[in-house]
Amino acid sequence: MLLDPDTSSCPDDRTGVSERGASQGVYAAGKETRRDILEVASSLFRERGLAGVTKPDIAKAAGVFPSQLGYYFGTKEALFVEAACRDVLHLAADVERAAAGTRTPRTYVRALVRTALSSPSLLFFAEAVLLVRTRPELAAGVRGAFGRLYDEGERAVAENLIRRGWHIRASAAAEARGFWAAVLGVCLEQAAFGASFSPASTEATVDLVLNLYESPAPPD
């Protein structure tokens, strides 16, 4: 059975449902409910943070019973971490798409950095990372998300280098890890400064990542 990787920890998946007909319909409906809850919860958590959202808030907004949240996700914290990890992986896909149409190393890196930093998903993920320090039973989800960010990033960088004939000084793996580290750090600064955030930090990150690219960037 092919699963959406974003929902691989769905309880329904673990029951190994294999009968056709009715139970498959129930399974599909359950998967859809689960995804709906994740989307609604993400939106609320991004806006108000963990402390600002209750289980009844999420249940009401998703049109489900509070008991269904417990059935699908367990605690509010577990739902928070799963939603944050799913969000940051969607962001990774958006980042890759945004950079696809660019033509120079500078516009490529700038598209990566700006797409990442314009999303609330990075900070949501950072909050999940800090949360699992005191909830070690939830850490596996965060570690898995980091692993996928790196693996997908490395693949995207390597594909891109081949397709465009660019060269970098470090490995594709180092480039991907360094990129995510840098944008996670800048998103913290962005959070502290809010509307008065200085674009100089974004530019510094662009410079830092861009300088891995060997050919001097032509003006764009």
Contacts with its own copies by CB under 8 A lie at 49, 51-52, 123, 126-127, 129-130, 132-134, 136, 139, 142-143, 146, 169-171, 173-175, 177-178, 180-186, 188-189, 191-194, 196, 200-201, 203-205, 207-209, 211-212
Closer Cβ to its own copies, 60 or 133, answer by number: 133
CB of 186 to its own copies, least distance (A): 5
**Contact yes or no for 114/179 (Cβ under 8 A):** no
Cα(220)–Cα(210) distance, integer angstroms: 14
**120 contacts: CB under 8 Å, gap ≥ 6:** 46, 47
Q: What one-character-per-residue DSSP string does 121-170 give?
A: HHHHHHHHHHHHHH-GGGHHHHHHHHHHHHHHHHHHHHHHHHHHT--BSS
Shortest reach from residue 198's CB to its own copies, in Å: 9
On whether the CB atoms of residues 186 and 117 are closer than 8 A, the answer is yes
Residue 65 C-beta: closest distance to its own copies, Å: 29
Residue placing its CB nearer to its own copies in the complex, 103 or 133 = 133
Nearest approach in angstroms of CB 52 to its own copies is 7
For its own copies, the closer of residues 15 and 198 by Cβ is: 198
